[in-house]
């Protein structure tokens, strides 16, 4: 490779127009900030994929320039001749594009903007280590060569700087120099075109397999198991989610397997390696340089010490360890963890761009620390353990979490332990989910689900990151250091790229860990938290005067009763004493079949059960419900729930009861609400109930539509509505409201509410009242006991 000419970064890039992909990511955001602040004479073109709801301009403003990375640059423009926003408008041009699409999806304006560029920095990537194989192939493998092809089509030859990764070297041991991947002795000569075709074929095969009848039946069964009788639309949506997740899982596993079979730790490194190979083959006369970072972590100094965007590779593992969730992690104590701060990577990219392309073969620069200033795994662990011992995280009770003594077992042992823990938790969770738990007892099942998810996350960390902690490759940085040597003094000061400047003990304990803890938003002080609890905050939002309409379910939300209990009371009210026991025994015997029908379809259950009212005298039933209100409904009510209804009305909220209970059975409760939507039964010419409902009973998705129709009729915004309910069958109603509240939730709803961050209320009955298995009305003192129906 030709010797480097002297480099003066800011001067060499002055007046240059630089296109950047991947600007909304961690590295891309840092790179944009550094260019705008440290190269004041350059202009940027940002290739951004349009969002479903936001334009590229909106995405740039919200996802890039509002980031705290720009606080320093923003402060520099306060009170100046040009505001920060004016500077951005003058120097930055966002354009719509997608590196995962042939031609980059550019319109005429986008092509013109790219055609005006002197340099293109391609940092866009699917960076997840467990990406589906086909998406990693489309973005990581084909993305760089798509950019080169677009530049060729535009008949321009700007300097293309492609960001790759050191881990293209694969799971090797020893030296990994800055050379093309196909010059490695570990390169197998596999054609990247075959890998692309295979990945696309695997996607098509998985999609076809997922649509087979037996698979669709499985997905629907899983949906019903999670959501219960939530209604056809939600079950259909969940079934499709399960199908697409299964397809994704197949592609993730395909990526891991293919990468492992060829000696790479995961699909990310594997597709990046083939992406380099494809780019070198397809670049034509486009001058290319490649920058390969190692594991990118928080900044050493720029734009501020510890700056980070999102959690990188190490942070989830560190926080899980600090919380006491991860007691072991595979690794080699004397092995090297090749970490590099993000600002050193940005400096390497910018300096590579300023240096220009090498003559002949592309210049390859590795931004890594392992060969020049190695961080040993034992050093990392000792620093992390010591820091969290001195600065512990606190649990919900305000007690310090004692971090475990980190061991260095093999990956297989840790995976086996976590698999066993996950299996035990799954079986326990299944048992609790099957029990008729409700309210605080249902929280046990939700808590168990949370622990299972923690075990799954820990297992994922071990599977994804274990290979990196066991990696013994040492990445050479000769070209990196040569770049630094070619820089003038001002450039070396402004664009430090030398990993030898890092004091690892200081970086870990004074810069990185404090930043990680701050971004993790964990409790770092003892005692009760001074912050408002999530429940209090959500309750305050629910009771905000700005709310407009509040919908309530009835059963197990306002009262601990149901349609069977109401019928039992009414049916026995005028029943002869000698028939009461027979009625009770018969009803209890029917309970399992009734419960099964209710779980399958609430509407079918209500239609079936309400047939029992056929022939009942409507006037007599109305009279009996007045007595039932004091004997059953009031004794079974939740006083706090009734007070909540009144509180909403006092705040000026419109209150709406939506229930599948019969109107006649809840007549005494109607004055509590502004409006009531319930099941109604037709009455024949003799004044008797027919046993047939006049309309579809308000259950499942019907309740959600009832709320939406009510809002439309009265001019309310559903986003400002509140809904209280207790069961997964009420999910459509809860999801239709802007502020859902799970009341005394069953186990499945308790788990969903916790996962979605909904308010959960536990309302209790007044103490002292009897709680019979089946409510029986007091003995009739009238002259002629009769049955409820003819």
pLDDT in tens, 110-130: 999 999 999 999 999 987 767
Q: Is the pLDDT of residue 196 over 90?
A: yes
E strands of 694-747, at which residues? 721-725, 739-743
- Structural contact between residues 702 and 696, judged by C-beta atoms closer than 8 angstroms: yes
Q: Is the pLDDT of residue 598 over 80?
A: no
Percent of the chain whose pLDDT exceeds 90: 52
User: DSSP readout, 661-673?
Assistant: EEGGGGGGGGGGS
- Nearest Cα to Cα of residue 291 among 312, 276, 277, 302: 276
Flag the least confident range among 41-50, 550-559, 762-771: 762-771
Structure tokens at 121: 């920095």
What pLDDT digit, counting tens, does each position of 699-755 carry? Answer: 888 899 999 999 999 999 999 999 999 988 888 999 999 999 999 888 778 888 888
**Residue 49, phi then psi, degrees to nearest 5:** -75, 130
Tokens 């959501």 -> residue? 227
Q: Give 704: exposed, middle or buried? Use CB within 10 Å, 0-12, 13-18, 19+.
A: buried
Identify which has the larger pLDDT, 753 or 419.
753
Q: Which helix (H) or strand (E) holds 549?
A: strand 549-552
Identify which has the larger pLDDT, 563 or 15.
15
User: DSSP readout, 15-62?
Assistant: T-EEEEE-TTSHHHHHHHHHHHHH-TT-EEEEEEPPPSS--HHHHIII
Q: Is the pLDDT of residue 75 over 60?
A: yes
What pLDDT digit, counting tens, does each position of 225-262 carry? Answer: 888 777 788 889 899 999 999 999 999 999 999 998 99
Q: Is the pLDDT of residue 771 over 80?
A: no
**What does the pLDDT read at residue 351?**
97
Q: Is the pLDDT of residue 319 over 70?
A: yes
What pLDDT digit, counting tens, does each position of 481-538 carry? Answer: 999 999 999 999 999 999 999 999 999 999 999 998 888 777 777 766 566 678 889 9
Beta strand 173-176 pairing with 675-679 = unpaired
Q: Is the pLDDT of residue 6 over 80?
A: yes
E strands of 343-471, at which residues? 363-367
Q: What is the DSSP letter of 13?
A: T
Q: Is the peptide bond before 303 cis (omega within 30 degrees of 0)?
A: yes
**What does the pLDDT read at residue 463?**
62
Q: Is the pLDDT of residue 29 over 90?
A: yes
Identify which has the larger pLDDT, 767 or 350.
350
Confidence of residue 650 (pLDDT cuts 50, 70, 90): very high
Confidence of residue 343 (pLDDT cuts 50, 70, 90): very high
Confidence of residue 783 (pLDDT cuts 50, 70, 90): very low
Q: Mark 181-204 as b/e (b = at least 16 C-beta within 10 Å).
A: beebeeeeeeebeebbeebeebbe
**What does the pLDDT read at residue 473?**
86
Helix (DSSP H) and strand (DSSP E) numbers for the chain: 30, 19
**What does the pLDDT read at residue 621?**
86
């Amino acid at each position: 490779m030709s010797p480097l000419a002297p480099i003066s970064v800011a001067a060499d890039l002055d007046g240059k127009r630089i296109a950047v992909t991947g600007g909304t990511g961690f590295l891309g955001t840092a790179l944009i900030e550094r260019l705008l602040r440290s190269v004041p004479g350059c202009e940027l073109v940002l290739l951004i994929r349009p969002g479903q709801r936001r334009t590229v301009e909106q995405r740039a403003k919200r996802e890039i320039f509002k980031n705290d990375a720009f606080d320093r640059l923003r402060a520099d423009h306060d009170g100046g001749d040009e505001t920060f926003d004016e500077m951005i408008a003058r120097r930055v041009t966002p354009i719509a594009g997608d590196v995962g699409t042939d031609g980059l999806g550019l319109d005429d304006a986008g092509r013109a903007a790219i055609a005006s560029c002197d340099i293109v920095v391609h940092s866009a990537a699917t960076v997840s280590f467990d990406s589906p194989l086909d998406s990693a192939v489309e973005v990581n493998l084909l993305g760089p060569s798509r950019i080169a092809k677009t530049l060729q089509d535009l008949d321009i030859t700007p300097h293309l700087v492609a960001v790759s990764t050191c881990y293209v070297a694969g799971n090797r041991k020893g030296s990994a120099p800055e050379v093309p991947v196909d010059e490695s002795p570990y390169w197998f000569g596999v054609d990247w075109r075959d890998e692309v075709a295979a990945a696309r074929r695997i996607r098509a095969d998985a999609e076809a397999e997922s649509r087979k009848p037996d698979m669709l039946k499985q997905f629907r069964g899983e949906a019903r198991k999670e959501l219960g009788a939530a209604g056809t639309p939600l079950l259909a949506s969940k079934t499709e989610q399960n199908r697409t997740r299964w397809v994704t899982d197949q592609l993730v596993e395909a990526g891991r397997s293919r990468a492992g079979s060829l000696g790479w730790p995961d699909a990310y490194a594997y597709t990046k390696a083939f992406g380099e190979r494809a780019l070198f083959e397809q670049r034509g006369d486009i001058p290319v340089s490649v920058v390969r970072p190692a594991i990118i972590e928080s900044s050493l100094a720029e734009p501020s010490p510890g700056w980070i965007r999102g959690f990188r590779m190490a942070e989830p593992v560190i926080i899980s360890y600090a919380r006491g969730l991860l007691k072991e992690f595979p690794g080699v104590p004397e092995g090297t963890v090749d970490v590099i701060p993000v600002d050193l990577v940005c400096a390497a990219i910018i300096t590579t761009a300023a240096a220009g392309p090498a003559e002949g073969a592309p210049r390859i620069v590795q931004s890594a620390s392992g060969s020049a200033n190695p961080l040993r795994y034992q050093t990392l662990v000792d620093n992390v353990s010591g820091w969290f011992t001195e600065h512990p995280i606190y649990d919900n009770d305000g007690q310090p979490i004692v971090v475990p003594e980190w061991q260095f077992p093999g990956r297989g042992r840790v995976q086996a332990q976590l698999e066993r823990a996950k299996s035990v938790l799954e079986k326990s969770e299944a048992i609790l989910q099957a029990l008729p738990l409700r309210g605080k007892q249902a929280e046990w099942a939700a808590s168990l689900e949370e622990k299972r998810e923690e075990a799954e996350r820990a297992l994922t960390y071990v599977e994804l990151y274990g290979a990196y902690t066991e990696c013994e490759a040492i990445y050479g940085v000769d070209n990196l250091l040569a770049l630094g040597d070619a820089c003038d003094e001002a450039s070396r000061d402004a664009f430090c790229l030398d990993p030898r400047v890092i004091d690892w003990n200081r970086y870990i304990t004074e810069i990185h860990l404090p930043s990680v803890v701050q971004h993790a938003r964990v409790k770092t002080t003892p005692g009760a938290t001074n912050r408002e609890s999530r429940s209090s905050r959500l309750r305050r939002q629910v009771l905000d005067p700005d709310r407009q309409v509040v919908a309530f379910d009835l059963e197990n939300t306002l009262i601990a009763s149901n349609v069977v209990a109401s019928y039992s009371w009414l049916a026995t009210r005028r029943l002869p004493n000698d028939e009461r026991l027979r009625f009770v025994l018969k009803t209890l015997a029917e309970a399992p079949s009734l419960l099964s029908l209710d779980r399958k379809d609430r509407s079918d259950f209500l239609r079936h059960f309400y047939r029992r009212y056929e022939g009942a005298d409507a006037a007599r039933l109305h009279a009996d419900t007045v007595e039932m209100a004091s004997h059953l409904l009031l004794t079974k009510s939740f006083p706090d729930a009734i007070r909540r209804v009144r509180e909403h009305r006092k705040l000026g909220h419109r209150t709406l009861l939506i229930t599948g209970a019969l109107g006649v059975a809840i007549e005494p409760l109607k004055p509590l609400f502004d409006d009531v939507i319930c099941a109604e039964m037709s009455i024949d010419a003799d004044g008797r109930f027919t046993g047939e409902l006049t309309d579809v009973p308000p259950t499942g998705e019907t309740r959600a539509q009832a709320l939406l129709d009510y809002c439309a009729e009265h001019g309310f915004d559903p986003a400002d509505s509140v809904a209280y309910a207790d069961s997964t069958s009420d999910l459509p109603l809860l999801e239709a409201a802007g502020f859902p509240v799970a009341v005394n939730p069953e186990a499945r709803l308790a788990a969903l509410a916790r996962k979605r961050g909904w308010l959960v209320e536990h309302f209790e009955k007044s103490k002292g009242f009897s709680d019979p298995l089946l409510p029986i009305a007091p003995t009739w003192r009238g002259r002629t006991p009769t049955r409820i129906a003819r």
